[in-house]
Amino acid sequence: MATHPAPRFPDGFLWGVSTSAHQIEGAVQLREPSVWDVFTAGPGRVKDGSTAAVACDHYHRYREDVALLADLGVDAYRFSVSWPRVNSPGGLDFYDRLVDALRAAGVRPVPTLFHWDLPAGLDWLERDTASRFARYVSVVADRLGDRVDKWITLNEPAEHTLLGHALGAHAPGGELLFDALPVAHHQLLAHGLAVRALRASGATDVGIANSHGPTWPASDGPADREAADLYDVLLNRLFADPVLTGRYPDGIGELMPGDVPADLKIIAEPLDWYGVNYYAPARVGAPRGAETGFGGLTLPAELPFSVRGIEDRPRTDSGWPVVPEGLTELLTGFRDRYGDRLPPIVITENGCAYDGLDDQDRITYLDGHVRALHRALEAGVDVRGYFVWSLLDNFEWAEGYARRFGLVHVDFATLERTPKASYRWFRDLLRRQGRRTR
């Protein structure tokens, strides 16, 4: 546990917490199905056999959750808008109510327009899904844009491509390995089209939430370095380079479908800020001709790299290593790589899975990362905000309800919310940064 108060961040720094629609809303009968509803109905997809049919029932209990945000004292709340809900009668009314409640509580709404819950029947392998996304974004922006000024297009297209389409661990369950690359391109195109749609509706504060982490080669040997470079290209640069520089990393553009140079112009629409979700670095080496583990997953032997453990670190309940300085390394590395092309950064997710109400391990994790973030600021990286993942324990995708990321405990039998020690720790941190409970 930290003994010194966290350092002071600049005035105007945006403190927040994040959630996503599918993980908390429930009320599935009031909307069209998403690919996640279809996926979880299949046997053995989710570890505890659960679904998000009720989840935290946030759809009905959002007022209580907004009160928790106000009591916490955050500046902003990052949530996601469910595309299948917007497609359903009365669906947008829910986000109207949520946005109004947040504003009345003095909390700035920051919607993400896609956090993996694609309407069932749509497919990111199809180029047309990108244009459909842009049309949906226009509908949401026209409705909420008078009260929302900060927008996020996509959440983690990297994980959605890798887990959902390459490895089959997430919805829609594709196991296409490298044939999943068009899914990445179409999401990136959807991002660029969404930026244009948001701008057309008057938005002036637009970003993306991409997941990133340093890649550490398993050794200095050429085979390990080459494998780590490839991993870094696939997980980091494939999603950052086109958005920030208008180019794919060498060798990737040729693998993408469509008129790639024309698409890249759209993908590289200038952003007002760039969102980074950070959890942990990866140590990567040459393939070993056998399956390897990766964050609870099994990676097939035929991949051109293998993910090794970072053994000398504490681990969260998800088995992810706790490496706060990886955040400083990531951000200074981004500044060095992208230079003037990098807009201000916002950490759109950072957090960890631990059980228990007296979650000292989560406090240690978050405290370490807030300090690591401050070191990046001191090193001259322009970081403007930090959002904890997550406000509530929730439906943690293929892990079901077994992994608890919340500052607030949710009893999934009674749906009772109970703030954890980490909630109080974050509230104190916010007070020291000049924020007040509302």
Q: Which of 9, 16, 20, 119 binds ligand BGC (CB under 6 A)?
A: 20
Q: How far is the CB of 92 from ligand BGC (least distance, A)?
A: 22
Q: How far is the CB of 84 from ligand BGC (least distance, A)?
A: 16
The footprint of ligand BGC on residues 254-293 (CB under 6 A) is: 277
Token duo for residue 204 = 């002036």
What is the C-alpha separation between 161 and 166, in angstroms, rounded? Answer: 6
Q: How far is the CB of 257 from ligand BGC (least distance, A)?
A: 25
Residues 6+ apart with CB under 8 A from 267: 188, 189, 191, 192, 242, 243, 246
**String of contacts with ligand BGC for each residue 220-259, x by CB under 6 A:** ----------------------------------------
The footprint of ligand BGC on residues 64-103 (CB under 6 A) is: none
Q: Looking at the chain, how many residues does it have?
A: 438
Q: Which of 192, 335, 396, 423 binds ligand BGC (CB under 6 A)?
A: 396
- DSSP 8-state assignment for residue 390: -
Tell me: cis bond preceding 172? Omega within 30 of 0 counts. Answer: yes
For the CA atoms of 258, 261, 263, 268, the dihedral, rounded to the nearest 10 degrees, stands at: 150
Token duo for residue 174 = 């594709």
Q: Which of 34, 129, 138, 155 binds ligand BGC (CB under 6 A)?
A: 155
427, containing H or E segment: helix 421-432
389 part of the interface to ligand BGC, by CB under 6 A: yes
Residue 373 one-letter amino acid: L
Residue with tokens 């109004």: 100
211 part of the interface to ligand BGC, by CB under 6 A: yes
Cα 404 to its chain centre, rounded Å, is 16
Residues in binding contact with ligand BGC, number by CB under 6 A: 10
**String of contacts with ligand BGC for each residue 102-141, x by CB under 6 A:** ----------------------------------------
367 part of the interface to ligand BGC, by CB under 6 A: no
- DSSP 8-state assignment for residue 356: S
Q: How far is the CB of 116 from ligand BGC (least distance, A)?
A: 7
156 versus 263: smaller Cβ distance to ligand BGC: 156
Rg (CA), the chain: 20
187 part of the interface to ligand BGC, by CB under 6 A: no
Identified catalytic residue from 159, 269, 329, 349: 349
What is the C-alpha separation between 74 and 430, in angstroms, rounded? Answer: 7
Residue with tokens 């583990």: 293
C-alpha distance from residue 366 to each of 34, 53, 345, 360 (Å): 32, 30, 18, 10
Residue with tokens 């979650």: 359
| Known catalytic membership, residue 175 | no
Q: How far is the CB of 375 from ligand BGC (least distance, A)?
A: 23
| Known catalytic membership, residue 156 | yes
- Given the rule CB under 6 A, which of 46-54, 152-160, 246-254, 375-383 is the region that contacts ligand BGC? 152-160
Residue with tokens 């594709």: 174
Identified catalytic residue from 25, 32, 156, 159: 156
422 part of the interface to ligand BGC, by CB under 6 A: no
Residues found near ligand BGC in the complex (CB under 6 A): 20, 155-156, 159, 211, 277, 349, 389, 396, 405
Residues recognised as catalytic? 156, 349
